[in-house]
Structure 1
Amino acid sequence: MRFEIMNAGKIQLCASLCMWLGIVTWTGNMKLHIWSVFVQQSYEGDVVFSVLNEQVNVSKGLRDGKTFSIRSPVTRKNAIEHRVFWSAWLDSLSTRVFGVEHERAWRKQVRDARVVVLEAGCGRPTNRLATFSDGTRACVRYGIDADQVLGETLSYYLAELLGISNLPPLALSKLNLSSEQWASVRGHIEALEWSPNAIVSLTEFIPNVTGVFIPLHLRKQQGGLQLSPETVSNMTVTYLVELMQWSDLIIFDYLTANFDRIVSHIFSLQWDARVMERTTNNLLKTINGHLLFIDNEAGIVHGYRVLDLWERYHRLLLGSSCIFRRSTVRRISEMKRSGDSAKLLCELYRAREPLARELGSLSQEHALTLQNRIDVVYKHIQQCTDIM
């Protein structure tokens, strides 16, 4: 890859582009007077960045906390490979939303941390926003019944098996009102009529988030996310990185049979023609452009129980996307070959969660449902490859 830079500040500009591509990391703050980037395809297949005048702010942690977006068109060959895979170049711009080490440290921290405040927040009336003694905050999901907490937890670990990092870190906790963790808010818990010793899920609270609209390319009744190289030539890098996350979300929601996000919008089209123009349930966006797949209580356990009511709409959603991340396809293929995805899921869940055996796990019936849905997604990917 070579860069044609038409400006005197070559060193600064090269540094910013290297940081943007993840080659180096900047540890300070600076302002660069660089030029708008136009991406062109060279005769040798290299990407050439021609730069024209534009003011850009670059701040600490640019790779993870992007403060600017590249609004130039993307070359056709660089956006999609073999017409069904997001390109490696584009995929490399989408970092993990939550790092593995961060998730491990967060789970360890909150399992024993003392809760000092419980207040309304985090969606459903049964949920609460907890503040710990060190200032850390988490969403506490009590659930209407234990199955909702189990569904939330298994959905989180299924996402980990799939390599999808858009779910905030999760840990389980037991409402032992005499324990140091919950004693300070005992009165609040009793007022809520939460059952003593019930198991709740704690998920990291992420501030400064916004609602998310379904992309135009998924709202269309025909075609869905079947983007051609010609189509993406007019899209920005920022938009394409978001679409990559949507392609993972579609697979994830199908596997978990979560009807309480996009599928509920599709269902509501029967009487509300403008529902797709509203923000999506249980989906948020961070200031860095990461999508957060939150509140997955309807996933897996409850979602599998009511499949007959929702499966038609789950299939419509899955059929709307024919472009995938290679890494996601690889994980799906591995789970297909295993023939027992539920075993892989439960092994991970039990290894990470001390309360796993007490909360419970998948029934045999639901384990078969998960494997069947893995098989359906695998077949869908094959069909997209044949069609394209």
Structure 2
Amino acid sequence: MIFSFPGFSLSEQADWVNRIRKQKVQEMRQPEWQKCGRPKNAFIITEDGSWLCGRYRHPQTKMVQGEVLSFYLSQLLGIDNVPSVVLTEVNETLPQWQDINFRNFTWESGTIIALIQWIEQLDLRLSRVKIPFLILEAYRSQVPVTEATILNSSVSCSELSELYQWGNLFIFDYLTGNYDRVASMQDGAMQDKKPSVIEENIRNLLQGAKTHKLWLIDNESGLLDAYEYIYSQVGSGKNFIKFHQDMLQTMCIFEEKVVTNVKKLAIDPTPHLTLEMYALQNEPLIKKFVKGRAYQVFTNRFSERLNEVQNWIDHCIDLTNKFR
């Protein structure tokens, strides 16, 4: 029996989004390393006491677009550990922003920003996560973790559930092209010629102390900026194609519902439109984004990356059947 570490259900995420849309912003604070990161972002408190991160990336709005599309992709996949995202417009005349002074934040009126759920149980100093030993072994040996690996190892139910979460992570980051989580560690190891970098705390990944749930935070690079970077004809972006592939192929342990949902998208003739329309149904402000070059790369490559993940899952199924 696999013990499940619960994240947020679709209904809980929808309730959060609808509630935050109606909330008046009570206070905005400058970001810190432990609260919302880079300059121009903001740590926000609403009138009901909710904590949010306001992601402001103008004129690089593809980062905000990537954040919200990555969130809705996680829903389509059945992955429940990506913080919820709601879009809003910076406008002092709107009830949400009434009495808020933007002068200290240099936010431009009319800009669309992302409000991102703060996961209360996390502490950026204490919730850091390293890759489990079994996955590190698979990464170095290029032999994936399979059912046979589990049977031959003393893995507890809790550890097994965590492995399934890592499988979800590798699928999600492969499909979004995220270069600022595990892939950034792989890049650091290559650049520094120091393989042990991959053993350090993983960027933009935190774990709840009580639930052991992994949380995939900071997904702004997903689908747009990441795709444009990875498939650019110049620079080192192409290295990340291999980084993502190598890490995906450490695992043959995946949640059944995620495997099913990957297959549904993989056989969809226009999966990018399926994702966009699903997101638009839940987030009308998406239509205000300009569809630039990064969006075009996403539409051209998303199906390709889905098929690559599906091919690996099929290979894992063959491996499993061979050893049964």
TM over 0.5: yes
Letter in 2 for 1:94: S
Match of 1:211, SS? coil
- Equivalent residues of 1:111, 1:171 under 8 A apart: yes
Higher mean C-alpha deviation, range 253-262 or range 236-245: 236-245
Q: In 1, distance between residues paired with 2:182 and 2:230?
A: 15
Which of 46, 50, 56 does residue 142 from structure 1 map onto? 56
Distance apart, 1:248 and its partner CA = 0.4
1:232-243 equivalent positions in 2, closer than 5 A: 232=151, 233-243=153-163
1:213 to 130, 141, 145: 130
The equivalent residue for 1:331 is: 261
C-alpha distance in 1, partners of 2:176/2:15?
A: 26
Q: Which has the higher contact order (CA 8 A, sep 6+)?
A: 2
Give yes or no for the alignment of 1:359 onto 2:289: yes
Q: Establish whether residue 163 from structure 1 lines up as the match of residue 78 from structure 2.
A: yes
Counterpart secondary structure, 2:309:
helix
C-alpha distance in 2 between matches for 1:376 and 1:105: 34
**C-alpha contact 1:177 1:197 (8 A) present in aligned 2:** no
Q: How large is the Cα RMSD of the aligned pairs?
A: 1.8
From 184, 188, 212, the counterpart of 1:264: 184
Q: Which residue of 2 aligns with 1:7?
A: none
* Secondary structure of residue in 2 paired with 1:235: coil
Q: Which runs of 4+ in 1 moved over 3 A?
A: 227-233, 360-365
How far is 1:224 from its partner?
Answer: 5.4
1:153 CA drift (Å): 0.6
| Shift, 1:129, TM fit | 1.4
1:283 corresponds in structure 2 to 205
Q: Distance in 1 between matches of 2:202 and 2:40?
A: 20
1:343 alignment counterpart? 273
Work out which of the residue numbers 195, 199, 210 in structure 1 matches 2:112.
199
**Residues 305 and 226 of structure 1: CA distance in aligned 2, closer, same or farther (over 3 Å):** same
> Please, what TM-score do these two structures have when normalized by structure 2?
0.86
Q: Per-residue CA shift, 1:145-201, capped at 9, x if unaligned? A: 100000001100111111111111211111012222123332xx3222121111111
Q: Does residue 307 in structure 1 map to residue 230 in structure 2?
A: yes
Per the TM alignment, residue 276 of structure 1 is displaced from its structure 2 partner at its CA by 2.1
Counterpart residue type for residue 215 of structure 2: L
Question: Are positions 1:377 and 2:309 aligned together?
Answer: yes
Contact 2:224–2:297 (8 Å) recurs in 1: no
Q: 1:386 corresponds to which residue?
A: 318
Q: 2:16 aligns with which of 83, 94, 106?
A: 106
Does the 8 Å CA contact 2:177/2:227 hold for their aligned counterparts? Answer: yes
TM-score (norm 1): 0.72
Which letter maps to 1:226?
A: V
CA distance in 1, matches of 2:114, 2:143: 35
CA shift in 2, pair 1:325/1:208, >3 Å: closer
Structure 2 contact 64–220 (Cα < 8 Å) conserved = yes
Kindly, what percent of the aligned residue pairs are identical?
28
Cα deviation 1:212-244 (Å, max 9, x = unaligned): 111112223114542343544401111111111
- Corresponding position of 1:294: 217
| Cα displacement string for residues 31-90 of structure 1 (whole angstroms, at most 9, x for unaligned residues) | xxxxxxxxxxxxxxxxxxxxxxxxxxxxxxxxxxxxxxxxxxxxxxxxxxxxxxxxxx32
Q: Where is the strand percentage greater, Structure 1 or Structure 2?
A: 1
Number of paired residues?
296
Residues 5, 212 of structure 2: 8 Å contact kept: no
1:338-357 Cα shifts (integer Å, max 9, x gaps): 12111110111110012111
Q: Structure 1 pair 244/199, CA: closer, same or farther in 2 (3 Å)?
A: same
Alignment of 1:185 onto 2:115 = no
Query: 1-side partners of 2:284 and 2:116: how far apart?
Result: 16
* Structure 1 counterpart SS, 2:267: helix
Quote how far apart the aligned CAs of 1:364 are: 4.1
Is the contact between residue 118 and residue 130 of structure 1 (CA under 8 Å) also seen in structure 2?
Answer: yes
Structure 1, unmatched stretches of 5+, are 1-88
Return 5+ residue gaps in structure 2 as ranges.
232-236
Highest CA radius of gyration, 1 or 2?
A: 1
User: Which one of 127, 141, 147 corresponds to residue 222 of structure 1?
Assistant: 141
Q: Which amino acid aligns with 1:112?
A: K
**Inter-partner Cα distance in structure 2 for 1:227 and 1:336:** 23
Residue deviations 1:230-286 (CA, integer Å, cap 9, x gap): 544401111111111110000000000001000011111121333123211111112
Letter in 1 for 2:315: Q
Q: 1:216 to 1:125 in 2, by over 3 A?
A: farther
Please say if residues 217 and 224 of structure 1, whose CA atoms lie closer than 8 Å, have aligned partners that are also in contact: no
| Worse-superposed segment, 225-234 or 257-266 | 225-234
Q: Which has the higher helix share?
A: 2
